[in-house]
Amino acid sequence: MKTNILLYSILTLILLVSCDNRETDDLIDIDKKETPTSNSKVPEGHFVVNFVTSTFDIQTKAAVSGPDGRVQHIRYIIYKSTGEYVKEKIVLSPAQGIPTWPLAVVRDTLPKGNYSVVFLGNIEKTLFPYSTSSSSQNYAEVLTNYKGSYSDARIILPPAEFTDRTEYYWANVAFSDTNPNPNILLQRIIGAAKLERVFLDGQDALNQLVNNIVTQIGYKNIIRTTVQGALPGLLRAVIGPILGNAVAGLAAYVDSLVNVE
């Protein structure tokens, strides 16, 4: 007997850092002559950090050169090595127009110690306006809880769709007074979410659930020499008896099985 159900079909819900060479863009290309040659003006007990890109890294491609508007907004946030928030600074905003790459080296002065820095590209709410019935222009936070502890910080999917000029980018590196020139590789974060309501009969719903799980596993980079052929059958054998005819609650299984919060 077939039962019509309401199935939330998770087509994609991922937020991951691409490790493919084609997904990596250099943020800053340093000119050696710009590097400070003297620390005479640095307060005692402090040091100057220079945020620069690597000139020799197997993960990078050629540095971006010339005008390029893919990254409109850049903010960096510094944390102590123990996770406590220290400071932040915006180094690029849309008001500055389309930036010309490479950008100038970014420097900061800090008390001697161990730190980590997070560079965030396009993670800015004003890049994602959306309309409601009461207002034509609204904004929702896309970065929260970051001014306390690093572990509490959250990057949130925007309420508006991504474009080729608003995709998320980030880099996260450690540095210290003994390592004051960290390499910054700004990598694109892939983010897409689409939810659909689809009425399906029970067996079709079960098949769709299995396919979604297999797809999600694929996105999580599990090695699948025989998974595509074997896993769907195994999942049906396990899930089918559990659900039986009670497929009306099938949507509840989707979130738990693909780890969607």
- Give pLDDT, residue 67: 85
Residues 6+ apart with CB under 8 A from 89: 75, 76, 108
- Give pLDDT, residue 104: 80
What is the C-alpha to C-alpha distance for residues 74 and 143, in angstroms, rounded to an integer? 13
What is the C-alpha to C-alpha distance for residues 73 and 50, in angstroms, rounded to an integer? 19
- Give pLDDT, residue 94: 94
CATH, range 15-193:
2.60.40.2580
Which residues face 12 on adjacent strands? 194
Give the pLDDT confidence of 103-113 residue by residue, as tens digits: 788 899 999 99
- Give pLDDT, residue 4: 44
- Give pLDDT, residue 141: 95
- Give pLDDT, residue 35: 42
Q: Is 231 helix (H, G, I), strand (E, B) or coil?
A: helix
Please report, for residues 3, 110, 200, 203, the alpha-carbon distance to residue 249 in angstroms, rounded to integers and kept in the order given.
11, 55, 13, 13
Report yes or no: 122 and 158 within 8 Å, Cβ to Cβ: no
What is the C-alpha to C-alpha distance for residues 53 and 17, in angstroms, rounded to an integer? 18
Please state the φ and ψ torsions of residue 84, each to the nearest 5 degrees. -75, 140
- Give pLDDT, residue 241: 60
Q: How many CB atoms lie within 10 A of CB 30?
A: 21
Report yes or no: 212 and 206 within 8 Å, Cβ to Cβ: no
Segments making up each domain of the chain, as ranges: 15-193, 201-257
For the chain, residues with pLDDT lower than 70 are: 1-40, 53-63, 190-206, 208-261
Q: Work out whether the CA dihedral 59, 62, 67, 68 comes out positive or negative.
A: negative
Residue type, 78: I
